[in-house]
Structure 1
Amino acid sequence: MTEQNLYLDLNVLQTVPSSNINRDDTGSPKSALYGGVSRARVSSQSWKRAMRTFFKEASSAVSTGIRTKEAAQLLADKLMTLDSKLDKDGALDKAAQIFKSVGIKIDKKTSETGALLLVSPGQIDKLAQYAFENDEIDKSEVKKALKTDDSLDLALFGRMVADNPELNVEATAQVAHAISTHEVVPEFDYFTALDDLQPKDNAGAAMLGTVEFNSSTLYRYANLNVRELAKDLGSQDAITGVEAFIKAFLLSMPTGKQNTFANKTLPNYVMITLRSDTPVNLVSAFEDPVTSRNGYVKESVHQLEEAFKSTLKLVNQPELTVVLTDAKYQSELDEQVDNLTDLLNKVKEELTEVVQDDNANN
């Protein structure tokens, strides 16, 4: 019996005050043109980085990988814990040979890979154990070690290895660039800094400059292929991973200029759906930008839920739809919860039931 797909959609509305959380090459907040007007934008890369950091800092229940050019050094360090006869140079040389055997280039001077490589602790452990037990290197065994034991972030966000595409890991999650639901006009802060040791009557500034910023109500979206994650991590670890993914997406934030603006906020509105047919990004709700003199969230909630209802003309009713919203912003959808714990429990209950049905059918 062929299993149906199962996709989790995360739709979030979140207000952000004066901020510059994701800069372009000129130092300006990133932006996008959508619906004929300029929007605030936060790249998916920056939010995925924030989520990976959140995994490491907030959850001991999930495994997280290391994205680095120093994978050979990581492996060498592990080898030396297994083989006391190996010195630093010998371990590093053996580690370099392991990676070279599968086409990953290692710089002779720095022992670094040519590009960042995301590896899981389990993969480093397996490679070290293999190298310890075998003098000759079998590249098929090395490849196997690098294609199993994925950490949660590696399973979610994938891995691209330009040197050897066979080592690529297909991402099970997709994260959209967040954009404002309304038009945004850039603003500038002119700042000065005074020298503490200069006389008090000195009117001059030791430094001056400007920083660009904006404020916005962001629409944020991500989706997750739950069954692909389960194939990668196993059913129970996948359910734990889904919970961690939701929490990280909702509670993390990129840290650009955070010391300057202290812009850490929480979502105003969250809608989670589980779909068996296809993931659906509801950004078209805001192709016609929200206009208001009394805040953007209320109307953004309305437009988002209207867009959700209109999708049912084209796709199936979701297996689960659950909403968490501020008391100020009323939802017109039936399935609402009071807090994040209840939201997570609703999703876990549905996923556990799906996993049990899968086990029964296998």
Structure 2
Amino acid sequence: MKKRLYVDFHVLQTVPPSCINRDDTGSPKTAMYGGVLRARVSSQAWKHAMRKDFAENTLLDVGKRTKKAAELVKKQILALDSELDADKLAKKALENTGIKSDDKGTKALFFMSTAQAKALAALAVAGSTDKKEYQKALRAAPSMDMALFGRMVADDPSLNYDAAAQVAHSISTHAVKNEYDYFTAVDDCPAEDNAGAGHLGTVEYNSSTLYRYATVNVLELAEQLGAEQAAETVRAFGEAFLFSMPTGKQNTFANRTLPDAVYVTIREDQPVNLCGAFERAVSRGEQGGYAEASKAALAQYAQQVYASFVEAPAQSFTVGGGLEALAPAQTAKAMLDALEKAVRDALSGNEVE
């Protein structure tokens, strides 16, 4: 029986002039790493983009994080019996779970799966007053994104879920310097004596080749979702991590790109973030650009880590050219198919000791 099983995702992705993740001043987020300024995209921004991707592209249950949890239960009550006072029953159901809610909703955002909302609705429609049953309903049947990203409930820690996935802040593999775009907007119906612009402004941006990393604790995921759904969820996670993108200033910059290269590993010891490949900022390659030099740095560093500190992965997959030293390259679809099968095979017979 396997004691540990992790899937690590390493992505190199070049983005053109953009501002996909801003700080409180509207500037692109940055970080100091290796003594130089790097472009940065927060893990929260990419996880939000991934959850939107889940909702659009997977058939698995995707939860809702909202203060209007009672509305989710109300919708399911109406589906069972449209003649009932669904609003009153939904609020009472939440009260029975111990989650504090008023006319404005819960005090904090609450993460609830569709299955949990249905279970609470069924109890409410049946007239149950057993608070233990209501709490049991909220502990069971988490959605795939709830199992991946966790749930924290201050009112009742017993309702918490530990996150099976971790997503790192993406950083550029090289030094960056933010720039400013000065723009004007023209009034289509100007006064005859006004030949100037109707609006003046600036927007800050940068461009970079990003190193993106995430890891999934497969056994933790399987414990919450079951082996079959865990394998499907790992695939959905990988697909969303590869193809989603935060939407900050997207209309301004049309910056939606695809990865330059992807490296995925199945490990039986511990997750391994390979950001150390870029602690020394990558310099432009002989033919210019950072993508090819970043691929070479990643491949070299991974081999160095495997030779010195940890065993090589149990299985490895790459997509795109430049990382063939780590594993043969294949298409994204073929890699995701192979990954799902590998996870399913690894979990086979792992249900009991």
Task: Confirm or deny: 8 A CA contact 1:104 1:113 kept in the other structure.
Answer: yes
- For 1:33, the equivalent position in structure 2 comes to 32
Counterpart residue number, 2:313: 318
Deviations 1:209-257 (A, max 9, x none): 1000000000000000111111111111111111111000000000000
C-alpha contact 1:323 1:333 (8 A) present in aligned 2: no
Map of 1:11 onto structure 2: 10
CA distance in 2: counterparts of 1:84 and 1:211, whole angstroms: 50
Do the aligned partners of 1:102 and 1:164 also contact (CA within 8 Å) in 2? no
Q: 1:311 to 1:139 in 2, by over 3 A?
A: farther
Amino acid at match of 1:93: K
Contact 2:113/2:143, CA 8 A, preserved across alignment:
yes
Q: CA deviation at 1:332?
A: 4.5
Work out the number of aligned pairs and report it: 350
Deviation at 1:258, TM superposition (A): 0.1
- What are the ranges of 5 or more consecutive residues in structure 2 without an aligned counterpart? none
| TM-score, normalised with respect to structure 2 | 0.95
Q: Of residues 112, 127, 146 in structure 1, which corresponds to 2:120?
A: 127
> 1:349 aligned to 330, 341, 344, which one?
341
Segments of 5+ residues of structure 1 without an aligned counterpart are none
SS of structure 1 residue aligned to 2:106:
coil
Which residue identity lines up with residue 61 of structure 2 in the other structure? Answer: S
Counterpart among 111, 114, 126 of residue 118 in structure 1 = 111
Kindly state the Cα deviation for residue 201 of structure 1 after the two structures are TM-superposed.
8.4
8 Å CA contact 2:177, 2:206 repeated in 1: yes
User: Which of 70, 79, 82 in structure 1 is aligned with 2:80?
Assistant: 82
How far apart in 2 are the matches of 1:74 and 1:355?
33
Hey, what does 2:56 align to over in structure 1? 57
RMSD of equivalent CA atoms: 1.7
Contact kept? 2:2, 2:268, Cα under 8 Å: no
Secondary structure of residue in 2 paired with 1:230: helix
| Higher deviation after alignment, 22-31 or 202-211 | 202-211
Over 3 Å counting, the alpha-carbon distance change for 1:335 and 1:96 in structure 2 is same
Q: Distance in 1 between matches of 2:174 and 2:218?
A: 32
Match of 1:101, SS state, is: helix
Distance 1:285 1:127, change over 3 A: same
Moved more, 92-101 or 212-221: 92-101
Look up the equivalent residue of 1:300 and give its one-letter code: S
**Residue 192 and residue 230 in structure 1: after superposition, are their counterparts in 2 closer, same or farther (change >3 A)?**
same
Provide closer, same or farther for how the CA distance between residues 333 and 205 of structure 1 changes in structure 2, counting only shifts above 3 A: same
In 2, distance between residues paired with 1:243 and 1:125? 26
Q: Secondary structure at the match of 2:330?
A: coil
- In the TM superposition, residue 334 of structure 1 has moved relative to its aligned partner by 4.8
Match of 1:70 among 25, 43, 68: 68
Shift of 1:357: 4.1
CA-to-partner distance for each residue in 1:299-335, whole Å, 9 max, x for gaps?
1111111221122221122110111124xxx224252
Please give the alpha-carbon distance, in whole angstroms, between the structure 1 residues aligned to 2:100 and 2:340: 42
The SS at the match of 2:154 is: coil
- In structure 2, the residue matched to 1:43 is 42
- 1:103 alignment counterpart: 98
Query: Given the two structures, how large is their TM-score scaled by the length of structure 1?
Result: 0.92
